[in-house]
Each structure stands twice: as C-alpha cells, then as structure tokens.
Amino acid sequence: MTVDRIEVSHTAAEKADRYLTPGQLKTVLRDHTGYVCRRASPNHDDLYPDNEFTLRGEFYGLPLDIVFAIESDHVAVITQMSQHSDSLRGQFYEYVGDTVKDAVEHARS
C-alpha cells in the first residue's frame, strides 16, 4: 500500500482553524518527515492498536502531533494536536521511522 489514499476524520478537519487544513494534512503525510512512533507497553502485549501511529514534527511552522492509522486500503488521520508531552521517546513509545511510509511498512510486517 502506498500513501496515495488519505482520509481525514471530521475531528481532524474541525481543527483546521487552529492547525492544518485537510489538504495540508495530506501533504504532510505524503511528503514530510518527522518522528514516527506508536504507543507500546513493555508489559502488555496488544494493549495498543498495532496500526495507530503518531507523526511529530514542525509542519507549516506549527509544532504538531498528527495521530493516524494504517487501514487496509488507506491512511486515516484521526486527529491533530499541539505537542502535549516533552517526549514521545521511552519505554511506552516504539520508534518506527521518519515517514508515514515507515509506519505503513511497520504495520504490514
């Protein structure tokens, strides 16, 4: 699967007045790099969905976290928000890569 088909949720689209428009979100997911990770728990298997990821970075001048899911035939943007925590690194986050394509590969493996 490529990152050609991206669907933006109503929740993410509603935040366009504060953050990115649906068009900008699609461009970011296709073309930009950042820090891509997923929530994980070292003590509990399958606690968090394997297909849900966060892309952290500065996009269009805004420091954002974009939460997205890899579905069978598309990428779904769940929400976008300002960066809430200082770090998405540590035992509860698994680094996946720098692009949404890295997340697609991780979800398919």
Whole-number pLDDT of residue 87: 66
Let me know if residue 60 belongs to a domain.
yes
Let me know if residue 1 belongs to a domain.
no
Q: If pLDDT is split at 50, 70 and 90, which confidence band does 48 have? A: confident
Q: If pLDDT is split at 50, 70 and 90, which confidence band does 92 have? A: confident
Number of structural domains the chain divides into: 1
The residue among 58, 57, 47, 55 whose CA lies nearest residue 92 is 47
Let me know if residue 77 belongs to a domain.
yes
Q: What is the mean pLDDT of residues 41-64?
A: 86
Let me know if residue 70 belongs to a domain.
yes
Q: Is the model's pLDDT at 78 over the cut of 60?
A: yes
Let me know if residue 61 belongs to a domain.
yes
Q: Are 14 and 65 in contact (CB under 8 A)?
A: no
| Residue 43: domain span | 6-102
Q: Is the model's pLDDT at 28 over the cut of 60?
A: yes
Let me know if residue 108 belongs to a domain.
no
Please give the order of strands across the beta sheet that includes 6-8.
Answer: 6-8, 75-82, 62-70, 52-59, 35-39, 93-97
Let me know if residue 33 belongs to a domain.
yes
More confidently predicted of 97 and 94:
97
Q: If pLDDT is split at 50, 70 and 90, which confidence band does 109 have? A: confident
Let me know if residue 107 belongs to a domain.
no
Q: How many CB atoms lie within 10 A of CB 100?
A: 26
- What b-and-e string marks burial along 57-71, b requiring 16 or more CB atoms within 10 Å of the CB? bebeeeebbbbbbbe
